Amino acid sequence: GALNHFTNSPTPFHNCANLVTMLGESFEKLSEDEKWEGKIKPNGKYYYTRNTSTLVAFCVGGAYDASNPGGFKVIGGHTDSPNLRIKPCSKNGTSAGKITQLNVECYGGGLWHTWFDRDLGIAGRVIVSTPDGKFTQHLVNLKKPVCRVPSLCIHLQSGDERASFKVNKENHLQPIFAQVVKDTLEAPASKKAKTDEAAGEKNAWREGHDSTLLKLIAEELSIEVAQIADFELALYDTQPAALGGANEEFLYAARLDNQATCYTSIQSLAQYAANKEMLEKDADIAMVCLFDHEEVGSASQCGAGSPIMGEAVRRVSSALNNGGGNEDFFQTTCRRSFVFSVDMAHAIHPNYASKHEKNHSPDLNAGVVIKTNSNQRYTTNAFTGFVIREIGRRKNVPIQEFVVRNDCPCGSTIGPIISEKTGIRCVDAGMPQLSMHSCREMMGTHDLQLCIDLFNGFFELFRNIDESCYLCS
């Protein structure tokens, strides 16, 4: 269930792999570097990934008609979360106390003080060379707590330092990885260097990494250290996701922003695709797009700022039209489409209630939150917000509202980026949570099911609601 997904998805790569498993065998894998003409058909279910960290999954309604094209009902979210990522040269040498540390880089806007005194594992993807000269990608997860960022004890801090704790991201967040004596540190490295040189395999990239780290990765993957060609690794909190509260009404986990959306959206799509009667009469395409790199601005090959969303609409609709379809066909499809952009939302904090505007203070376990900002940090407008509220009304799913206070900054998400790139109508929403961007976050248990119910209603009811609205364009 959800707890297992959050626990076993420490990186966007693991997240996507686990989401694909959730889709089930009925979803056919597509490859972006192959033609899709002739492969995509009504009643079909498909998915593809980019960079193995962004996932696009969809099912085609049985009533889809290329001569009168339907639209795309899209749920959008993101797969990444703030964390500490290992630098291209992880070797940090031996520090005071004969301590070995790793070089890490802060990814995204984390609450970095929450990473202190946590039991940290290492996970990510590894590029592995094979005996036949090829290269393959493997996911790795060192589940044991191999790293830790310890706090400085109170006795070694001045009164001023205690009163104004500030994290220097370069100096204070380098994790402790090991403690070794000098001869055990140097001997294996020296021996390995000679072995590599003798084999003509001296590798500057591997020399930039801690030899113990490489050894642990190799052991986990059952390969030789010399087969490790590259990697993208991140630290993560090894404490499993858990239910909490006196009545288990809360869920505590890392990366709820935005893995909660990833989990609920794929659950909903899989349920909708499995409903043969409903899918058969659908004239649209139900789709989930989960992008990487939202936490750093989405401007990447696999982020929401890339062509992925527009390409998905164009390529899928063209394949359903036997490879045809001009610009007019594409734009018509876009105008009939809608993106339900779902990132997490800020629940009211009982210790900081003044941070919320009193009429827009979402509660945990009270339903999905529609996020509005007149300065277009969110895309919600009168029509797009109405669509979600109407779906909630028809499905008896509660809807909450959030607007940031005028004296507080406002975050943003993928909605404005997708709207700008494609012109597709969009609404921004999210499940309420506390401790956003902390190493460990909190949300209401009931909100997961309420979100799935709302997503199911979106796939089922959007076309009927859209066609019942007569608005000037």
The confidence band for 181, taking pLDDT boundaries of 50, 70 and 90, is: low
- pLDDT tens readout for residues 220-232: 999 999 999 999 9
Q: Side chain identity at 292, as an amino acid letter?
A: D
List pLDDT tens digits, range 118-172: 999 999 999 999 999 999 999 999 999 999 999 999 999 998 888 888 899 999 9
The pLDDT score that the predictor gives to residue 138 is: 98
- Pairing between β-strand 54-60 and β-strand 45-50 as defined by DSSP bridges: antiparallel
Q: What is the mean pLDDT of residues 171-189?
A: 72
Triad 98, 99, 100: Cα angle to 5°: 120
Q: Quick check: 472 pLDDT over 80?
A: no
Triad 290, 37, 308: Cα angle to 5°: 25
Amino acid at 426: C
Alpha helices in 105-247 (DSSP H): 159-163, 182-198, 204-207, 211-221
For the segment 241-250, the average pLDDT, to the nearest whole number, is 98
pLDDT of residue 66: 87
Residue 201, pLDDT score:
61
The letter for the amino acid at 40 is: I
From the list 337, 323, 302, 329, the residue with the least C-alpha distance to 419 is 337
In the predicted model, what is the mean pLDDT of residues 427-447? 98
* pLDDT mean over 437-466: 98
Q: What is the Cα–Cα distance from 192 to 185, expressed in whole angstroms?
A: 12
What is the dihedral angle through the alpha carbons of 17, 343, 291, 300, rounded to the nearest 10 degrees? -140
CB 371 within 8 A of CB 431: no
CA distance 193 to 199: 10
Percent of the chain with pLDDT over 90: 86
What does the pLDDT look like over 331-347, one tens digit per residue?
A: 999 999 999 999 999 99
127 has which bridge partners? 137, 230
Confidence tier at 112 by pLDDT (50, 70, 90)? very high
Whether 202 shows a pLDDT value over 80: the answer reads no
Rg (CA), the chain: 24
SS3 180: coil
Give the orientation angle of helix 256-274 with respect to helix 445-467, to 10 degrees.
Answer: 60
Cis peptide before 203 (omega within 30 of 0): no
Res. 52: pLDDT tops 50: yes
Question: pTM (2 decimals)?
Answer: 0.94
Asked if pLDDT for residue 195 goes beyond 50, the answer is: no
Mean of the per-residue pLDDT values of the chain: 93
Distance CA 360, CA 64 (A): 40
User: Is pLDDT of 473 > 60?
Assistant: no
Residue 420 has pLDDT above 60, yes or no: yes
List, as own/partner pairs, every contact residues 404-413 make where C-beta atoms lie below 8 angstroms and the sequence separation is at least 24, other chains included.
404/357, 404/373, 405/355, 405/356, 405/357, 408/355, 410/373, 410/375, 410/377, 410/378, 411/377, 412/377, 412/378, 413/78, 413/294, 413/341, 413/343, 413/378
Please tell me the predicted confidence (pLDDT) of residue 184: 54
pLDDT at 188 over 60: no
| Residue of 431, 428, 456, 457 lying closest to 443 (CA atoms) | 431
What percentage of the chain exceeds 70 in pLDDT?
Answer: 95
Q: What is the 3-state secondary structure (H, E, C) of 139-154?
A: EEEEEEEEEECCCCCH
pLDDT(417) > 60: yes
Give me the mean pLDDT over the 434-446 stretch: 98
pLDDT tens-place string over residues 263-282: 999 999 999 999 999 999 99
User: Is the per-residue pLDDT at 182 higher than 80?
Assistant: no
pLDDT tens profile 300-332: 999 999 999 999 999 999 999 987 778 899 999
